[in-house]
Chain A
């Protein structure tokens, strides 16, 4: 029997669940697949409705983790096996080698001296990263990762002599005794290469909404300047393609809930940075749930933001790396063929479990959202459960923590 709780996934809902449970006096293990905590929120420039940067909410969570000895963070780690039953689980966790020392060594200069590069996962392919890297300045844990596959031969030779790095570190496996499990595996942006009629990710200057977040982020590939990736020019006009792959039985059969709000937020980014830029939002329905309708009203009042009802169904490359889009203005009954400097596909959120299997007894629906598991002491939260914004992710994290605590309490 164990009072400890396992949290799978170190994004916003997972962190919240872990902290809440730990602050109630339980040992908590966070198993995070990527090298740092923060998940998708860490990639954002700002979050609505207050438009504060992620350092705001996330930094507070990191502080709470840092100060709480009950929270054990395992990064680059994945759950690979589970045995036992509710209240008494034995979880096997595989940990990939980080190859850097456990204490926070600053490798900034060493990293900048390396040659080999690979497209950055964190910047969604908009920039290149080195073989020794840290995704963002306030990353937690504030440790670099050594990815030997990306190193050039010269890099290898240069790093071989470094006594702080362990190029030969092996993957290892640990096993954890826990009483309950919180699944916070979150989401990923829907793969644009599936959207054949929207250019399948091959049209230049046609980016996804998460890529735009990286462009707008001060720690992103353009230091926060929203410019065209192809030539770094400020776009004169930008089109937003809503429901790119969402509410579509050929792609994501559900409404992703946040893309409308994300686009409204992006309109505000653009209006702030480039007030002259004309922005057009092509939508089927605009969904601004609850109090977010205020954001919609604010954006609708902007002079250079226009809304057209009609889904964009064709995106092609135009002259000078512009994007040509086609949509029917369904109110006027006119088919439009328009040229834009930049097009943003408001892609939806696909639950991570839609494409990845977790060795836990949790049922998922046809879309990949978790539909049960509570009888086994396994509680889902965040976007593994349904599409949610950050606030509601945090709430669902707290809810899952409470259920997990009730499962293990009193032992």
Chain B
């Protein structure tokens, strides 16, 4: 047997405790958790091995572990854990460590890891959009809250698409995409075992595996139901699948709307027939999709938030990463809905203020994506793709 030199990292074990895994020292390796988890494979199941890595401070092992991403955080392991060591929280803390340290610039990850970073993270887009507002107010003769002759409000009069909103968001979006893609590639390398692994049985091209992952995991979130298949814990079913799916579909609807409007706007400059001008009329099909999406966002969010509040605090703790993401999406949804309401109500002051905040929060959602919990959209997909390539289902 090959010898393994263990290099414990006490600082890492400590930082893991800070990131939400405070209870890990109580673990006595009874391996109940590995059985409690219906998703854990027969060979090298989790999370017992992660618990020992975490308490020994084996940072490399834990952060390069594919299994932390396969955990869907149902908490069966924490419910059955005889010591209250809360393996689910430790897994969650390990994921948070990856959010924090995986991609450059890691100073953002540092800021994203604790509430103290929030003022700076909020301040950056707040200043950015304030400058835009100030610049555009100059074009309107110094008016910060302009209205049209008929009294209607057009946000474009201040937050002008062509030269401000669109370029800034495109830069932000593709920048974040670039960073997270690098992170995904780095993660893939970390997941890959040393040497060559022979996969026995039928093989599929990675594209088809990716398709399966997207359909089964992202669009329908079927594995949340698989979480219920474990040993009986005596607690009621969480029903997380519904809330999460509604949220994902809401994002899909809103992304679709954004894409159509962008295509109509920029494409319209080339092909006038497909031109779309904003604001859209309330009964426009695209607008209806957007509003249905916004409502779904609120419903999904409410379900997920209520579930977190109802959780047994002894066995499940929601950490700062959980609340940051929920908070930002709540802020995006509410500012979006209220800016529309104020706009239609022609309340010019609140309309522009709320829309300004909406832009701030949307920018936060996208720009900080690689270091936020939303990164799981990419990192978990990468992990699932990776194990499927090696013959595991999950």
Interface residues of A (CB under 8 A from B): 196-197, 200, 243, 247-251, 284-285, 309-314, 326-330, 333-337
Contact = CB atoms under 8 A, between A and B. Distances in A.
B28 A284 contact: yes
A311 B231 contact: no
B230 A314 contact: yes
B35 A330 contact: no
Nearest to B83: A249
Contacts of B230: 314
A246 to B, nearest CB: 9
A197 B36 contact: yes
B43 A334 contact: yes
Nearest to A197: B231
Contact of A311 (B32, B232, B233, B234): B32
Interface of B: 28-36, 40-45, 48-49, 80, 82-84, 230-234
A328 B82 contact: no
A196 B49 contact: no
B41 A284 contact: no
Contacts of A249: 82-84
A284 B42 contact: no
Given A284-B29, A336-B42, 14 more contacts: A196-B231, A197-B232, A247-B30, A250-B80, A284-B30, A285-B28, A310-B31, A311-B32, A313-B35, A326-B231, A328-B45, A333-B43, A335-B43, A337-B42
Contacts of A327: 31, 35
Which 6 pairs show the lowest CB-CB distances between chains A and B?
A248-B82, A313-B35, A197-B231, A314-B231, A328-B31, A328-B34
B35 A314 contact: yes
Contact of A335 (B35, B84, B231): B35
* B28, B32, B45 pick with most chain A CB within 10 angstroms: B32
A348 B335 CA distance: 57
Contacts of A251: 82
A328 B30 CA distance: 9
Given A197-B231, A249-B83, A313-B36, A330 B44 contact: no
A200 B232 CA distance: 10
Nearest to A245: B82
Contacts of A200: 232
* B41, B44, B82, B83 pick with most chain A CB within 10 angstroms: B82
* B29, B30, B34, B45 pick with most chain A CB within 10 angstroms: B30
Contacts of B49: 333
14 contacts: A197-B80, A197-B233, A200-B232, A247-B28, A248-B83, A284-B29, A313-B33, A313-B80, A314-B230, A314-B231, A327-B35, A330-B48, A334-B45, A335-B45
A196 B42 contact: no
A165 B48 CA distance: 62
Given A313-B36, A328-B31, A335 B233 contact: no
A249 B82 CA distance: 5
A164 B146 CA distance: 106
A384 B49 CA distance: 38
A173 to B, nearest CB: 41
A313 B29 contact: no
Contacts of A312: 35
A250 B40 CA distance: 23
A250 B82 CA distance: 6
Contacts of A336: 42
B234 A328 contact: no
Contacts of A248: 82-83
B42 A334 contact: yes
A326 B29 CA distance: 16
Contacts of A330: 29-31, 34, 48
A14 to B, nearest CB: 31
Nearest to B43: A334
A335 B83 contact: no
